[in-house]
Structure formats: C-alpha cells, structure tokens
C-alpha cells in the first residue's frame, strides 16, 4: 500500500480548550486512523499559537510522540517540566501524562503520533 497526501487534502480541525488547555489548537490530520494499517490512532501536525496549550492528559495503553518542528514551548512530562524547541522530541505513555504550552512568540508546530500497545 502506498499513499501521497498533499497538504491541501489534509483534514483540518480546530479544537477550543483541548484537554482543558488555553485557546485553540489547530490540527492538520496528515493521515486519519482508518487510513493507517499499523497500530496508530493519530498522525498529525499540531499548531499552537502563542499562549495556547493542550492541557494535562494521560496515555493509557498507548504512547504519544511529540516532535517539535518550530517554536518554543514548555512541556510537563509526567510531572517534569522542560522547555522544548525545534528538533526536540517527547515520548509519553504507559499510563504517564503530559501537557504542552506555547511559551514563545511564534507558532509552536508539533508532529504528533499516537501509537497503540
């Protein structure tokens, strides 16, 4: 199986106060769950404008990878806070939780992938 997805073909979604976070989250679904043959439920580019965040949430029976593509943010990875910038990655799963906030002055762009156990 092969597929090429053009950016203009990706499903765009906006969520307000995602996971009780601040502001809005822009989600560009690169591939949707039903298109993926592997054990994944999310493959998306997430954009947070300055001051916006995704609230703290747990990942049970799954793990989420955040790959920071642009901007600066603060991540809470199961109680440990750290500043993340372009090129950094975060892996959270097996019951642990995380949140992320754009603490910079430009959009924070994240590649997010959720893998199921």
What is the DSSP secondary-structure string of 57-115? EE-SSEEEEEEEEESEEEEEETTEEEEEETT-EEEEETT-EEEEEE-SSS-EEEEEEEE
Residue 1 has a pLDDT of: 74
For 85, the token pair is: 């910038």
3-state secondary structure of 48: strand
Residue 61 has a pLDDT of: 96
Sign of CA dihedral 35, 39, 40, 41: positive
Residue 54's Cα: distance from chain center in Å? Answer: 8
Where do the domains of the chain lie? 11-116
Residue 17 has a pLDDT of: 97
pTM: 0.95
pLDDT, tens only, 8-18: 999 999 999 99
Instruction: Select from 3.40.50.2300, 3.30.200.20, 2.60.120.10, 3.30.450.40 the CATH code of 11-116.
Output: 2.60.120.10
Side-chain-side CA neighbours of residue 98 (13 Å): 23
Which pLDDT band, with edges at 50, 70 and 90, does 78 fall under?
A: very high
DSSP β-bridge partners for residue 44: 29, 112
pLDDT, tens only, 30-71: 999 999 999 999 999 999 999 999 999 999 999 999 999 999
The secondary element (H helix, E strand) that includes residue 56 is strand 53-58
Q: In this structure, what DSSP letter does residue 1 have?
A: -
């Amino acid at each position: 199986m092969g597929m090429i997805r053009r950016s203009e073909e990706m499903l765009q979604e906006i969520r307000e106060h995602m996971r009780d976070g601040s502001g809005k989250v822009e989600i560009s679904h690169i591939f949707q769950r039903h298109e993926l043959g592997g054990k994944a439920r999310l493959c998306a580019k997430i954009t947070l404008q300055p001051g916006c965040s995704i609230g703290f949430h747990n990942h049970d029976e799954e793990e989420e990878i955040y790959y920071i593509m642009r901007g600066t943010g603060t991540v809470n990875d199961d109680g440990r806070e750290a500043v993340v910038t372009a090129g950094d990655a975060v892996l959270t799963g097996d019951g642990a939780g995380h949140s992320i906030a754009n603490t910079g002055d430009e959009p924070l762009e994240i590649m997010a992938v959720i893998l199921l156990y």
